[in-house]
Structure 1
């Protein structure tokens, strides 16, 4: 008997097709054979992912913990990254359809248009980062001009006035006032230096730097911060410490500025080989659509960009009148610095 039209369509399909029965492949087409030769992979693992029983980010569902990937999973089109025998990685898209006791797994290479769209998105992200850095430079320039420069100019005028003042009356009080102004100016310089790069982060590490930041926040705003570090004090690579610190700094300042709270809860821990930062408040909360395009929306995007730059993941949950929780996860793809 000749080959039926359906069998011919199956065999000549441009996608790699796998006919599955009882968790085993009972038939595959030409593209599937070629795919498995170039990109050897575990069919069992791909089937777990296809059925939502596994996750791209975690090896078991116990580790997945209802993460965002699982919540948004779609069997009709799920992403895959396969690695060739030479170690080259390639993006694919899979689909999984069950019919009775059998199922059809389809895998196709991500279209050039999709990769081009990713390139465009990356370019836009780079443009945003550059603009964010430029905004930071402008803010620093404004701070130097309106703050330090004006204070120095004022002290300069006061000292010149003493030089030409022939009367000694009140000289001691004037000198005392100038001394106090110099102390205040020095404090401004130190605070500016801390904001640019906290010395505690370089000298002592992440936990002491966070403690110093939160202590200063409480002193200046009155907001009580409950910090619970659930890990031993140790050093991580500079990029991990810096980004964790900056995400925390942005998160707590957002809560202080917008959430109308008098208490915050911060935890830092290691779970499932991940560094986990959690910042929680019970304040006003917000709607993500309401902050798009505004300065706060840019702040959230900046935090997300920082996290993704080292392979981390930032999750923000917020509900009006219920509060906000910011969670940063950084996979342990680093060597702990002794």
Structure 2
């Protein structure tokens, strides 16, 4: 009988302990859950702030690239056209009517060409509006500026011109990525031919740029902190959950393929 009483007392003690411990564990679980929830919120908020900061930095870089393009265009193209117009008009001899008319006509043609170039510059000044018009138009504008250099044979397949959907933040980053790639080609590649393909397939935007320049060792270059801006490109690809495929070898050219969930 005493053993039975002891066993019952023991079971009651165990039940009481469990009854007391369950609320404690429940409180600890709730506190732990709330702490994780708070940390998750702070982490998410921090990621959002980093994303917004990167978008702002990208916008500044796009604007800076725009200003550089405008400065180069004013100096190399519009400035030369206006100087040539001035020289032509200064050489007009009104006593020779036929030659004077021909030179004035040539001057008018130069002025009209200058006006056309200035209109193109005006479009470039509205860089953000260009992105708002769609990534296809932004890519097309960059290709137009590249073609004006007259240094490369361009093969372009831009299927994004008539794209009906947009993603302004992603479009801005994609535009900046293309600018960085083109700048790398101009500065380092010594290429003669550039191929650019852009299209959308199954909600994934594909952008491929290939050139026949001197190439490089991707493994060696990726290890360098400042190598050709590749770290910046990889960083921005991660930010928008994109995928970058880089193929290159010395003396065999380079190809970069970008795949981004879109929109």
TM-score, length of structure 2 as denominator length:
0.56
Greater fraction of residues in strand = 1
Give the match for residue 254 of structure 2: 324
| Partners of 2:72 and 2:247 in 1: CA distance | 33
Structure-2 change in CA distance of 1:301 and 1:229 (3 Å): same
Structure-2 change in CA distance of 1:319 and 1:34 (3 Å): farther
Q: Which has the larger radius of gyration?
A: 2
Q: Which has the higher contact order (CA 8 A, sep 6+)?
A: 2
Structure 1 counterpart of 2:167, from 222, 227, 237 = 237
Structure 2 counterpart of 1:90, from 29, 33, 43 = 43
Structure 2 gaps of 5+ residues are 1-24
Give the match for residue 173 of structure 1: 102
SS at match of 1:88: helix
| Partners of 1:231 and 1:138 in 2: CA distance | 25
Give the match for residue 34 of structure 2: 38
| 1:275 is the counterpart of 2:205 | yes
Deviations 1:42-101 (A, max 9, x none): xxxxxxxxxxxxxxxxxxxxxxxxxxxxxxxxxxxxxxxx6449x72438xxxxxxxxxx
| Partners of 2:129 and 2:90 in 1: CA distance | 38
Q: How does 1:40-119 map to 2 (within 5 A)?
A: 83-84=37-38, 88-90=41-43
| Partners of 2:133 and 2:210 in 1: CA distance | 25
Contact 2:222 2:231 in 1 (8 A): no
Structure 1 gaps of 5+ residues are 1-28, 40-81, 92-114
Structure 1 counterpart of 2:113, from 171, 180, 184 = 184
Structure-2 change in CA distance of 1:290 and 1:144 (3 Å): farther
Aligned residue pairs total 227
CA RMSD between the two structures: 5.1
Q: How far 1:142 sits from its partner (Å)? A: 5.3
SS at match of 1:286: coil
Contact 1:268 1:278 in 2 (8 A): no
Q: How far 1:234 sits from its partner (Å)? A: 1.8
SS at match of 1:171: helix
Q: How far 1:302 sits from its partner (Å)? A: 6.0
Contact 1:278 1:325 in 2 (8 A): yes
Contact 1:286 1:318 in 2 (8 A): no
| Partners of 2:183 and 2:117 in 1: CA distance | 19
Give the match for residue 18 of structure 2: none
SS at match of 1:167: coil
| Partners of 1:34 and 1:307 in 2: CA distance | 37
